[in-house]
Amino acid sequence: MSNQTKSVRSAATRQAVLDLVRTATLGSYGVTGFAGRWHERLLERLGLAQPGIALRLGDALEIDLDLTVAYGVPVAEVARQVDSAVRYALEHALGRAVRRLTIHIDGLHFGPAGVPPSVVHADAGAVGPRDLADSGTDVA
């Protein structure tokens, strides 16, 4: 037996790379989905496209993501999480580095309660979070 190590280069299909990117992105903090135009959503239903992901394969990987994020989360932190998750997933699974990863935030997703009110009116006698904090009481 030879003790020489062999250089192994893996080949991955475009769909496999898209699946890795999609899984890493959707598993990131604050991401609610991919943004896509109506014709991209139609192509997705036909199995011909993945809206919100543009991928260029070549000597280096180049990825553009169009995302929607949850209302109220820090957008910069979401972008950092997605960047880290996608780069790690591709480097770990394929051994290839990402040359360029561009993240576009195309919208906010509001929870089941709908659009948050612009002004909150509290009852005069209600105790709010600021009242508890100012009282010196430890709240878990």
Q: Which of 26-40, 64-78, 96-110, 119-133 has the lowest mean pLDDT?
A: 119-133
Residue 2 has pLDDT above 50, yes or no: no
Per CATH, the homologous superfamily of domain 14-110 is: Cation efflux protein, cytoplasmic domain (3.30.70.1350)
Print the SS3 string covering 17-78.
HHHHHHHHHHCCCCEEEECCCHHHHHHHHCCCCCCCEEEECCCCEEEEEEEEEECCCCHHHH
pLDDT band at 113 (very low <50, low <70, confident <90, very high): low
Mean pLDDT along residues 9-37: 86
pTM: 0.68
Mean pLDDT along residues 19-26: 94
> How far is CA 39 from each of CA 11, 29, 36, 65, rounded to the nearest angstrom?
30, 27, 8, 17
Determine phi and psi for 81, rounding to 5 degrees: -65, -45
